[in-house]
């Protein structure tokens, strides 16, 4: 089968960033790495297809919720083949606690079927191949490439990464693809996967989506445009 080249895989050429912007990004990277040395993917998985499934299930749901659902699911369906042979209705009872569970059950079965039939039973390890799978967009593909295959093809932009990128002045964009491109232009490629783990760690522990307290946090003080603004008003 000849694979389509998908529009979401066609990024614009990266914008050039000034040396000052790149240096600031480097300092932020250092500060976050020191603060969160153990930042890593919060989803539990042991094989690439499990990470792919967990990431599909995590859309609009918490990682904690997904981690509660997946042990029984992965036990009942221990391989790609087992998932590919089943009906979505067999998956549904395991994922009913998650948002959009019906669609997610379908996406899980269809993506595993395609892996079995088109990719020889192995999770593909390129962006374009992953994007052919149902339920997989750049964010999911980046999670799988970065964590299961150690490939830095892009940056995972979830809600935390999007929010922190704006607050830290790394991007003015709200479209995740454009935020991703800004981050790719600011940080060295080898750091792309870990960058999202670091921003997510800060998002979860200090800068929450709602009710963040803009504490007197050293990283916030130095890098957050919003925090600086609030302090100057006080
Ligand atoms: S200062 Fe406040 S808004 Fe800015 S990153 Fe810190 S917690 Fe978030």
Supply the CATH number for residue 193's domain: 1.10.1670.10
**135, 218: one domain:** no
Q: What range does the domain containing 80 cover?
A: 48-148
DSSP one-letter code for 6:
P
- Percentage of residues in the chain having pLDDT higher than 90: 81
The reply to whether 104 and 132 lie within a common domain is yes
Catalytic site positions:
139, 158
Q: What does DSSP assign to residue 209?
A: T
Tens digits of residue pLDDT in 46-80: 999 999 999 999 999 999 999 999 999 999 999 99
Q: Is the pLDDT of residue 11 over 90?
A: no
Q: What is the mean pLDDT of residues 129-155?
A: 96
Task: Point out the ligand 1 atom lying closest to the alpha carbon of residue 168.
Answer: 5
Same domain, 229 and 181: yes
pLDDT at residue 232, rounded to an integer: 47
Is 0.85 topped by the overall pTM? yes
Answer yes or no: is 11 within a domain. Answer: no
**pLDDT value for 177:** 94
Residue 159: inside a domain, yes or no?
yes
Can you tell me which residue has the tokens 């083949």? Answer: 81
79 and 139 both lie in a single domain: yes
Residue 66 and residue 29 in one domain: no
Of 127, 148, 169, the residue that ends a domain is 148
CA angle, 115 then 142 then 63, to 5°: 90
User: pLDDT grade, residue 223 (50/70/90)?
Assistant: very high
Ligand 1 pocket member 224 (CB < 6 A): yes
The mean pLDDT of the chain is: 91
Identify the pLDDT of residue 216.
76
Ligand 1 atom with minimal separation from the 206 CA: 7
Q: Record the tokens describing residue 64, joined without a space.
A: 């904690």
The per-residue pLDDT for 162 is 96
Evaluate whether residue 84 is within a structural domain: yes
Q: Is 146 in the pocket of ligand 1 (CB under 6 A)?
A: no
**Residue 172, domain member (yes or no):** yes
Tell me the per-residue pLDDT of 165-215, one tens digit each, with 9 for 90 and over.
999 999 999 999 999 999 999 999 999 999 999 999 999 999 876 656 676
- Asked whether residue 183 falls in the same domain as residue 217, the answer is yes
- State the Cα–Cα distance between residues 234 and 231, nearest whole angstrom: 5
| pLDDT score, position 147 | 98
Domain CATH number, residue 122 = 1.10.340.30
Give the position, in ligand 1's atom list, of the atom nearest the Cα of 228.
Answer: 1
The residue out of 99, 132, 148 marking a domain boundary is 148
Rounded CA-CA distance 5/97 in Å is: 35
Residue 109 covered by a domain: yes
Q: What is the rounded CA–CA span in Å between residue 144 and residue 130? A: 9
Same domain, yes or no: 62 and 130? yes
pLDDT value at position 10?
A: 64
Residue 1: inside a domain, yes or no?
no
The domain boundary, picked from 100, 124, 148, lies at 148
Whether the pLDDT of residue 14 is over 90: the answer is: no
Q: Answer whether 226 contacts ligand 1 (Cβ < 6 A).
A: yes
Sign of CA dihedral 176, 177, 182, 186: positive
Would the CB of 220 count as within 6 Å of ligand 1? yes
Q: What is the mean pLDDT of residues 3-12?
A: 63
- Give yes or no for residue 108 having a pLDDT over 60: yes
One domain for residues 90 and 174: no
Q: Is 5 exposed, middle or buried (0-12, 13-18, 19+ CB in 10 A)?
A: exposed
What does the pLDDT read at residue 233? 42
Whose CA is closest to 168, among 83, 229, 89, 98? 229
Which DSSP symbol is given to 15?
P
- Number of structural domains, the chain? 2
Please state, for a pLDDT cut of 70, what percent of the chain lies above it. 89
For the stretch 26-53, pLDDT in tens is 999 999 999 999 999 999 999 999 999 9
In a domain, 7, yes or no: no
Residue nearest to atom 6 of ligand 1 (CA): 220
Residue 3 falls within a domain, yes or no?
Answer: no
Do residues 141 and 163 share a domain? no
């Amino acid at each position: 089968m000849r694979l389509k080249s998908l529009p979401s895989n066609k990024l614009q050429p990266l914008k050039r960033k000034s040396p000052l912007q790149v240096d600031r990004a480097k300092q932020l990277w250092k500060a976050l790495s020191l603060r969160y040395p153990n930042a890593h993917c919060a989803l539990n998985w042991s094989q690439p297809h499990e990470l792919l499934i967990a990431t599909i299930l995590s859309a609009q749901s918490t990682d904690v919720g997904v981690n509660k659902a997946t042990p029984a699911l992965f036990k009942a369906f221990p391989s790609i083949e087992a998932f590919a042979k089943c009906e979505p209705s067999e998956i549904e009872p395991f994922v009913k606690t998650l948002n959009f569970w019906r669609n997610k059950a379908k996406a899980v079965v269809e993506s595993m079927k395609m892996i079995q039939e088109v990719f020889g039973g192995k999770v593909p390890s390129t962006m374009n191949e992953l994007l052919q799978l149902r339920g997989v967009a750049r964010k999911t593909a980046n999670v799988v490439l970065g964590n299961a295959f150690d490939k830095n093809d892009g940056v995972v932009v979830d809600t935390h990464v999007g929010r922190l990128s704006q607050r830290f002045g790394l991007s003015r964009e709200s479209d995740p693809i454009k935020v991703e491109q800004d981050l790719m232009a600011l940080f060295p490629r080898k750091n792309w996967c870990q960058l999202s783990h670091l921003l997510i760690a800060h998002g979860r522990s200090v800068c929450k989506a709602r009710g963040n307290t803009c504490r007197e946090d050293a990283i916030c003080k130095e890098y957050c445009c919003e925090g600086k603004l609030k302090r100057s008003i006080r």
